[in-house]
Amino acid sequence: MASHGALANEDPLKLGELTLGDYLQDLDYRNVLVGKSEARGNQDALQRLQIEQHTNIGKRLAQGGFENFEHFSGIYPDQIAPEDLAYNDYLYANGFDGKNPWESWANSAVNQDGKKVSGWQMRNSNLPAAVPEEHSETVYTTDRALEFLSSVDKDERWCLHLSYIKPHWPYLAPAPYHSIYTKDHILPAVRHSTELSNPHPVSGAFMQETYSRNFSRDEVRERVIPVYMGLIKQVDDHLGRVFEKLKSMGLIDSTLIVFTSDHGDYLGDHWLGEKDLFHEQSVRIPLIVYDPDKEAEQSRGIKVVDGDTIVLNGEKIRFSGIDTPEHLREYTISQIDYSDRGPRVSLNLHPYDCRAHMIRNKEWKYILHEKFRPQLYDLRNDPDEFHDLGDSPEHKSVRQEMDEKFFSWFRNRLIRTEMEHDFLFEMGVERDEKMGILIGHW
């Protein structure tokens, strides 16, 4: 975030920052997006550089270095649904009516009185989506991915960014996925009464948000989480179709598959909903790498589930073989800016003061706020992060140690992000003299 400059969905990447797509394009890959992406170009910059949006360069910048084979940037309620939405066109073609069938069919349900009700009301999450499964977002997105795969040439190098939107608000699944799981399948909420008594001001403010108050109720969790699980199961099933397609095309042994997610979800853990803060539920994400290359044999089958091995979101994955654990990080850093969230108002903060930073290693998670005391969690003895040691006198030295790591990280961040780095090692200190620039000679 500190380098690429994008803090919120609305933010474009900084103009000179390279994406995965940019790097792969240089390697002659055809990079294709199918699904959700919030990448967008910096319109002011494009205008200043007189780069037209419809040109290849304009598109590349607006699309994060990918070709939009199928693109949507989120869920579209009626107020913001664009005229030319491919999924809406698809739904029309299949007989679904209305101004915005995505909303009125895929994100609406029919209640027992035969009335259309909104998926935005979580009380309706137990109902199946009005759209049949075969026309739901996940199936449509998968079908588009298979269409792309059918179009690739045998010898073409390509990268498919298949980006499912669901599970996502509104929490509604098509049948049968709305009812595969029940409240008996869900894990107990990871929360503790101690978190409610005298919480950190920022945590406390987020606990007061509508989504947190609702997800703190068992009735909500028991209705929504089974559906959330159903939506995951649906993605799982349809990824199977992608893998079968790769097999049938003879590509499964030459295709690197990386499965990951952009963030977690509280779903009521820690008396919170959504994804705003730094608990493991929010910042820890799945990462599954399938690498058919022989060089990857030695690392095949490794499972890391204890949080002791840290892979930073966005860290390079080598194309042949995976970095061995020795190369993994000692700590990870995360940054948030909640200036567009309710707690900015409820805490009466200036937007610039809504920034917070987390540093986490195997033992500790330490969070710095600008206007409030820090937070500290002992991950060895309190893996559930119930007990905030941010003002514990006995832990002063731990906080100091984490401060030092943090401060050092800030000082040593890469600054020349838009330049090749190898030149640094080639740049001789005697270079000036070779050019006849004789500084300080007598």
Q: How far is the CB of 247 from its own copies (least distance, A)?
A: 36
- Cβ atoms within 10 Å, residue 247: 12
Is the CB of 72 or the CB of 211 nearer to its own copies? Answer: 211
Is the CB of 162 or the CB of 358 nearer to its own copies? Answer: 358
Joined tokens for residue 352:
């610039």
User: Alpha carbon of 196 to those of 206, 214, 267, 272: distances in Å?
Assistant: 12, 15, 16, 11
Is the CB of 242 or the CB of 398 nearer to its own copies? Answer: 398
Is the CB of 54 or the CB of 441 nearer to its own copies? Answer: 441
Is the CB of 26 or the CB of 134 nearer to its own copies? Answer: 26
Q: How far is the CB of 221 from its own copies (least distance, A)?
A: 12
How far is 173 from 186, CA to CA, in rounded Å?
Answer: 16
Is the CB of 77 or the CB of 321 nearer to its own copies? Answer: 77
Is the CB of 193 or the CB of 412 nearer to its own copies? Answer: 412
Q: How far is the CB of 295 from its own copies (least distance, A)?
A: 28
How far is 19 from 421, CA to CA, in rounded Å?
Answer: 16
Nearest in space to 69 (alpha carbons), one of 3, 138, 152:
152
- Cβ atoms within 10 Å, residue 145: 25
Is the CB of 57 or the CB of 304 nearer to its own copies? Answer: 57
Task: Report the alpha-carbon angle 239-241-246, nearest 5.
Answer: 95
Q: How far is the CB of 346 from its own copies (least distance, A)?
A: 9
How far is 285 from 7, CA to CA, in rounded Å?
Answer: 19
Q: How far is the CB of 310 from its own copies (least distance, A)?
A: 21
Q: How far is the CB of 362 from its own copies (least distance, A)?
A: 23
Nearest in space to 129 (alpha carbons), one of 138, 197, 241, 390:
138
User: Any idea of the CA torsion for 14, 20, 22, 26, to the nearest 10 degrees?
Assistant: 150
Q: How far is the CB of 428 from its own copies (least distance, A)?
A: 8
User: Alpha carbon of 166 to those of 17, 70, 231, 232: distances in Å?
Assistant: 28, 15, 6, 8
Q: How far is the CB of 437 from its own copies (least distance, A)?
A: 6
